[in-house]
């Protein structure tokens, strides 16, 4: 005769049989089977309701899940994610709340869990396994406390289009509102096409106070005096102060660098066939970036809600530089020199045709400046010029943070 094996089902059935005999109190029967009296009454109630089948194990899953996402909401979230593959849970929720505030959208964590279950997100890993290391900030930059106080600009790295030529996207952003003023597909990084782009932007949005860039062409000329470029000279004539980040410190233009990462993911992969088609892709990206995409630095509002055009209009004629009456003016000749009391002072060919000011600061010392940009000092005794570049600002002009000094390094 084979051995019998007791199972939970057989033990419960035996418990019910003995309890129904009534020979022993229910308390003693429960003690004999090693269960509480509450559990014993539960099994008796299940047997009375469903017979032997009521003694089987039941699922422990909850009847309702309070945080479970309703199918229509999940479908809407996944559809928006597929339309914007680079948007995270916060941006997705902000956009849906903005467009359909009447629906009970779940928390950001719930949306993130949904994306993970569907395999739509990847864990972020920093290359090298350690924290990022940046060059220190070696000079202060202007704080953009309002729209158009600071515009940032840069060329995103060039890439080849499918038809063969290269595309160099020139991007311009308002630093305060993160509004993408322009994203233009250019065939080179030379000065002339960049100036045409800025002319169009100045016509549309007015003039900023400061334009921040890196030290590359066409924003700067590494070998010229004060690293001036033709584009920078034009900005100064318009009353705009060029501001450059420190070499090797891209974090000083970090918001712009982050824009380029988004631009690459959403508008350049794959590249278009021609410059015209690539420009159409950039235009679509710019419209979506400004009016639809929630920006975390703006409290998840799109940039267009935070930007207003500049009150400084584009001038019909290039205005003269506002030099004070006590300085002496000299015009830079085609050779790049100015003539000062019989001495030829070499400056730079970038300033050909421009007026520079000589201001006496000592008996034999004259400060030479182009607008508010000091270029250097001329020593009349030795007839020598010493380059020395910095901005000398008016008290009413913008000051960088944290310093309030009126002298700003270039």
* Rounded Cα–Cα distance for residues 288 and 294 (Å): 10
**What digits encode the pLDDT tens for the residues 12-23?**
888 888 888 878
Among residues 56, 50, 43, the alpha carbon closest in space to that of 16 is found at 43
Predicted local confidence at residue 196, as pLDDT: 97
With cut-offs at 50, 70 and 90, classify the pLDDT of residue 405: very low
Q: What is the mean pLDDT of the chain?
A: 85
CA atoms lying within 13 Å on the CB side of residue 224? 21
Annotation: CATH topology of 140-305:
Nucleotidyltransferase; domain 5 (3.30.420)
Contacts of 152 (CB under 8 A, 6+ apart): 172, 173, 175, 211, 212, 213, 253, 255, 256
- Residue-wise pLDDT for 179-207, tens only, equals 999 999 999 999 999 999 999 999 999 99
Q: Of 128-137, 211-220, 239-248, which range is least confident?
A: 128-137
Q: Where are the domains of the chain?
A: 8-55, 71-117, 140-305, 328-409
pLDDT in tens, 133-156: 333 334 578 999 999 999 999 999
Fold of the domain built from segment(s) 71-117: Arc Repressor Mutant, subunit A (1.10.10)
The count of residues in the chain is 410
């Amino acid at each position: 005769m084979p051995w019998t094996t007791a199972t939970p089902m057989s033990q419960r059935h035996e418990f019910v049989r003995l309890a129904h005999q009534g020979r022993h109190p229910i308390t003693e029967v429960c003690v004999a089977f090693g269960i509480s009296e509450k559990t014993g009454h539960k099994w008796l109630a299940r047997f009375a309701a469903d017979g032997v089948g009521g003694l089987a194990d039941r699922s422990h899953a909850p009847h309702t899940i309070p945080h479970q996402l309703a199918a229509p909401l999940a479908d809407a979230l996944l559809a928006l994610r597929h339309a914007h593959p680079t948007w995270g849970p916060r941006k997705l929720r902000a956009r849906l709340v903005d467009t359909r505030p009447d629906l009970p959208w779940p928390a950001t964590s719930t949306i993130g869990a949904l994306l993970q279950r569907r395999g739509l997100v990847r864990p972020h890993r920093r290359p090298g396994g350690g924290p990022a290391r940046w060059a220190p900030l070696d000079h202060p930059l202007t704080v953009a406390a309002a729209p158009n106080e600071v515009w940032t600009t840069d060329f995103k790295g060039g890439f080849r289009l499918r038809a063969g030529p290269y595309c160099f996207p020139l991007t311009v952003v308002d630093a305060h509102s993160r509004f993408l003023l322009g994203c233009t597909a250019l065939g080179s990084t030379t000065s002339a096409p960049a100036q045409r782009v800025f002319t169009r932007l100045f016509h549309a949005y007015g003039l900023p106070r400061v334009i921040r860039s890196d030290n590359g062409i066409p924003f700067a000329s590494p070998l010229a005096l004060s690293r001036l470029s033709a584009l920078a000279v034009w900005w100064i004539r318009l009353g705009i102060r060029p501001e450059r980040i420190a070499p090797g410190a891209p974090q000083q233009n970090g918001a712009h660098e982050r824009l380029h990462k988004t631009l690459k993911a959403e508008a350049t992969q794959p590249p278009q066939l021609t410059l015209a088609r690539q420009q159409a892709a950039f235009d679509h990206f710019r419209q979506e970036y400004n009016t639809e995409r929630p920006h975390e630095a703006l409290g998840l509002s799109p940039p267009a809600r935070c930007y207003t055009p500049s009150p400084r209009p584009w001038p019909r004629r290039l205005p003269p530089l506002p030099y004070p009456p006590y300085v002496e003016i000299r015009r830079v000749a085609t050779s790049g020199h100015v003539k000062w009391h019989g001495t030829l002072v070499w400056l730079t060919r970038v300033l050909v045709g421009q007026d520079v000011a000589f201001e006496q600061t000592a008996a034999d010392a004259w400060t030479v400046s182009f607008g508010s940009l000091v270029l250097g000092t001329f020593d009349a005794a030795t007839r020598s010029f010493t380059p020395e570049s910095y901005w000398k600002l008016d008290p009413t002009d913008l000051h960088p943070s944290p310093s309030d000094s009126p002298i700003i390094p270039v």
